[in-house]
A and B are shown apart, each in its own frame.
Chain A
Amino acid sequence: MLLSRCFPDRHLRILAPVPRCRWSLTPIVLLLLGCGGPFPQSTLHPRSDFARAADTVFTDIFWWAVLVFVVVETVLLFVLVRFRHREGRAAPRPTHGHTLLEIAWTLAPAVILVFVAVPTVRTIFATAGEAPPDALKVQVTGHQWWWEYKYPDLGITTANEMHLPVGKPVQIAITSADVIHSFWAPRLGGKRDAIPGHVNYIALQADAVGDYSGQCAEFCGASHANMGLRVLVDSDAGFAAWVKDQRSPPVAPAKGTPAEQGKAIYSRSACLGCHTIQGVSPGVIGPNLTHVGSRSTIAAGLFPNDSAHLASWIADAPAMKPGAIMTRMKPPLTDAEIAALVAYLASLK
């Protein structure tokens, strides 16, 4: 945007008469792999404007690189075969250099780099994170080792699973509560670091409804490998329904059910020091659990959100995720208590 103000687009086109070769790399990759995926985090299967812009630049440079690679390596191989030692060959002529050649092979890469640099700079400005004012705003905060999402205009707070409407501009603001992380959902675009004290922006518009996985890309300590995330791109109606559910207060469990027992246990345990459940507890250290039952995974995308995994997680989180600060309860909860807690959490749809 900024650049287009400085350089009207037609000038750029004069500078960069690159044929817009749109040969996707995907078939080559599939050929090399001998199988068809699915590759849920593939940068070669872009599904947003941001991801496509990055892929386009990469594909352009890739084909230039292939050209240079083939030419230079072929010449190298030719020289090795053609000028290999043979008995009786006359002593080589001691050439020391050639000015014209030096100029030529200095200019040739420089010219190629102009073809690479111009679309690069154009795309840098196009993907700088600026979004129209009506874009949906999402605030991402990285924590060791999970993601917190806030929708300031909608009053929603959730964790690890982000919902976005398809085909609508979105601006994601990224920061961190502790160390540096990097928010990355490859099929929806490039990563931006989550840095304490700074805010970085990603602007994107998702192409298609779907479940896009990603994970933290900046080394952030013991469980960096276990800091997954998911972005669920919903249809307009689906997104509206999700927003409605998330904005409604949690349903109180019915009298006499295990869930009600679980709520009582939750309310008298250490849980409430770290977790928020709207109307029940205000903790902000761990993920907001107000609608935890509506999420399909737990522990930052590590495990499915079912009663077995929830129960083991509550019993001993660090055993499932090294370094997790949610320690085992002292005194430990009984199996019955854990089962009741699981029933309560599962009821928080």
Chain B
Amino acid sequence: MSHAAAAQLAPAATAEAHGLRAWLTTTDHKRIGMLYFYTALSFFLIGGIEALVIRAQLARPNGHLVSAETYNQLFTMHGTTMIFLALMPLSSSFFNFIVPLQIGARDVAFPRLNAFSYWVFLLGGLFMNASWFVGPLFHAGQWNVAPNGGWFGYANLTERQFSPGPNIDFWLLGLQILGVSSLAGGVNFIVTILNMRAPGMKMMRLPTFTWMSLVTQFIIITAFPVLTVGLLFLMFDRFFGAHFYVREAGATPILWQHLFWLFGHPEVYILILPAMGIVSEVLPTFARKPLFGYTVVVYSGILIGFMGWGVWSHHMFSVGLGPIADSVFSATSMLIAVPTGVKVFNWIATLWGGDIRGTTALHFAVGFIAMFIIGGLSGVTHASPPADLQQTDTYYVVAHFHYVLFGGTVLGLFAGVYYWWPKMTGRLFDETLGKWHFWLQLVGMNLAFFPMHLIGLLGMPRRIYTYSPDLGVAGLNLVSTVGAFLIGVSILIFLANLWRTRTHGQRAPNDPWGGATLEWSIPSPPPVYNFSVIPTVANRLPRWKTEHHEPMRDPPATPPAPIHVPPGSWWPLVAALGLPIAALAPLTHTLSLAFVGAALLLVGIYRWAFEPLEG
């Protein structure tokens, strides 16, 4: 073994490399997890600001804070940003940081592919958001040429004929780039979870969060290709004059809706299942009781993953697919409420008889349950097509999915942040500020989103930049706006807490909460090699004493033998740079950029493939 290689061995190399270079070339799943976290948080703030401008515009009837065109860009980018650039990557942050620790691995299966996923995500997000500032380059007469066709981008409105500007190009090229990131991540985590488990970590001993992550990755690698195909058709229509969605050429724009929702509904479960996994970790820890009905919770997660594929047309009841199709999709949509309800009952049963410690993480996890119930129940009302014909495309639906994605996913992810932050950084959040954050957010979200049920039932459609005072919904809209700004305040408190915790947060021991899973058996933050000795797992709750077993012994503080830690690499970043550069080619009608982008990608992958592992 060469001298250079020996330098990469722990414990000699436990002093981690610092500086910009170390972060740009990192392949450590923990660092990539932190990069995902801060990047996704930044996009979450951008999407939040977009939401606040939207709410300011709608605070009164006939609002004119922003123009119709800018408003359409704002709601398009709010949805696209929150789904693809904030919530999915925040989940990815936990997949990255926590899943390898939970299964007792030293890293993911493909660390450099993992780095590639992150860089592609970052660059795709920047590419799409660049559209806010580059109007002059396209002679648009204004700064912002952001996507303006809605996050659902319905053809044929998104065809060149009706959307001639670069707006939709930014959207579809950006989504294609982000799809590459999601697919690479999906493959990576499936292989990681299936192959990198510590000895004895059988599938039915996997922590619930890891299980839900696995289900999510399977949905990602099967659902995203459908979106890719839909977008590819749209690209051909817009750039090469094809007519996949053009009525005059004998095609139908309804094809887009089927492709989009065939991706789009599984996407909902991509967003909610990781949060369900987090809640299934947080509740047992703070109730000091094993998860009630582990097997049922896992299987219902898998079932939701499958059933999520059979419900897409409930987004299309007003399209006129006919009463038989409507009945079938109505029935499947209602059925999916059963495994979802089963999860809720098992969570409550987990708390039953427990010794519930009201930490901030527990507050958020319980908030998830309480709010998700509301979103689930309103979902049943529009699983019924006759009712949905009145509700779809109104604020009632906006209320529904914000209870699911904000009350559900966002609260669930914050539960994860407060729960795992001490593990990730070695510092505990301030609990008082955390509770302020929780209560303001809970009150804010109910003020913001509950009135939207009524606003919708009283006849206000979605995606309108202005509304008439005659509708009688001005007061409700004002309440909603106040609630949205209250959420904004709660997020500011979170940011203050985050900032304060960096330097003043209480030092976290290995296991501040008394958790049952492997990540709590190692130091906080974990050393670069994670486990000094790969643990052998004998049961589902290795660190707890139950009637059947004693707790496992934690790995020793220092590794008894040297541990190989792979060096960093520039090539994932280089390869990732090729994608946005290639995407500039159709956007600017510059063929040479396509060759430059493709060359970067190929050279990056080639060098990465033949890079020596010993650095």
Contacts and interface: CB of A to CB of B under 8 A. Distances in A.
Contacts of B460: 41
Interface string A78-109: 01100111100101111111100110011001
Given A94-B546, A120-B385, A190-B386, A39 B352 contact: no
B247 to A, nearest CB: 4
A54 B393 CA distance: 16
A119 to B, nearest CB: 8
Interface string A176-196: 001110101010011111011
B356 interface: yes
Contact of A76 (B68, B348, B377): B348
Interface string A1-16: 0110000000000000
Contacts of B349: 98, 101
A292 interface: no
Contact of A190 (B157, B253, B389, B476): B389
Contact of B330 (A120, A127, A129, A323): A120
Interface residues of A, number: 97
B156 interface: yes
B338 A197 contact: no
Contact of B247 (A54, A94, A196): A196
Given A43-B390, A65-B380, A72-B344, A128 B323 contact: yes
B196 to A, nearest CB: 27
Nearest to A223: B68
Interface string B82-112: 0000000000000000000000000000000
Given A69-B374, A190-B386, A217 B356 contact: no
Contact of A224 (B288, B383, B459, B464): B464
A203 interface: no
A336 interface: no
A218 to B, nearest CB: 6
B130 interface: no
Interface string B477-498: 0000000000000000000000
A154 interface: no
A65 B369 contact: no
A322 interface: yes
B608 interface: no
Interface stretch (A56-64, A265-273, A277-285, A326-334): A56-64
Given A40-B459, A96-B290, A97-B293, A85 B351 contact: no
Given A76-B370, A191-B318, A184 B292 contact: no
Given A105-B345, A180-B157, A195-B254, A39 B471 contact: yes
B30 interface: no
Given A121-B330, A127-B386, A109 B337 contact: yes
Interface in B432-484: 454, 457-467, 470-473, 475-476
B323 A124 contact: yes
Contact of A221 (B162, B254, B345, B369): B162
B353 interface: yes
B559 interface: no
B370 A33 contact: no
Given A95-B289, A323-B68, A73 B373 contact: yes
Contacts of B253: 179-180, 195-197
A92 B287 CA distance: 8
Contacts of B25: none
Contacts of A109: 337-338, 341-342
Contacts of B318: 182, 190-193, 217-218
Name which of B289, B354, B459, B476 has the most chain A CB atoms within 10 A of its CB. Answer: B459
B181 interface: no
Nearest to B345: A105
A75 interface: yes
A65 B374 CA distance: 9
Contacts of A125: 323, 327
Contact of A57 (B326, B384, B473): B384
Interface stretch (A110-118, A156-164, A253-261, A341-349): A110-118
A102 B342 contact: yes
Contacts of A85: 355-358
Interface in B358-386: 358, 366, 369-370, 373-374, 377-378, 380-381, 383-386
Given A79-B351, A179-B157, A195-B254, A97 B296 contact: yes
A29 interface: yes
Contact of B335 (A54, A64, A89, A113): A113
A139 interface: no
B243 to A, nearest CB: 12
Given A109-B338, A186-B390, A117 B331 contact: yes
A72 B346 CA distance: 12
A92 B289 contact: yes
A179 B162 contact: yes
B369 A76 contact: yes
Interface in B6-31: none
A105 B465 CA distance: 44
B296 A102 contact: yes
B72 interface: yes
Contacts of B547: 94
A72 B348 contact: yes
A220 B157 contact: yes
A35 B393 CA distance: 25
B319 interface: yes
A219 interface: yes
Contacts of A91: 288, 355
B394 interface: yes
A22 interface: no
Name which of B150, B354, B378 has the most chain A CB atoms within 10 A of its CB. Answer: B354
Nearest to B162: A179
B366 A76 contact: yes
Given A44-B457, A127-B386, A198 B67 contact: no
A182 B316 CA distance: 12
A52 B457 CA distance: 14
A216 B386 contact: no
B370 A73 contact: yes
B386 A97 contact: no
Nearest to B374: A69
Name which of A43, A53, A323 has the most chain B CB atoms within 10 A of its CB. Answer: A43
B560 interface: no
A200 interface: yes
A292 B173 CA distance: 45
22 contacts: A29-B457, A44-B457, A54-B386, A54-B387, A58-B387, A65-B377, A76-B369, A79-B348, A92-B353, A93-B289, A96-B292, A116-B334, A120-B327, A123-B384, A124-B327, A124-B330, A179-B156, A191-B390, A192-B389, A195-B254, A219-B393, A224-B464
Given A96-B293, A125-B327, A198-B252, 6 more contacts: A65-B381, A92-B288, A179-B162, A196-B156, A219-B154, A223-B68
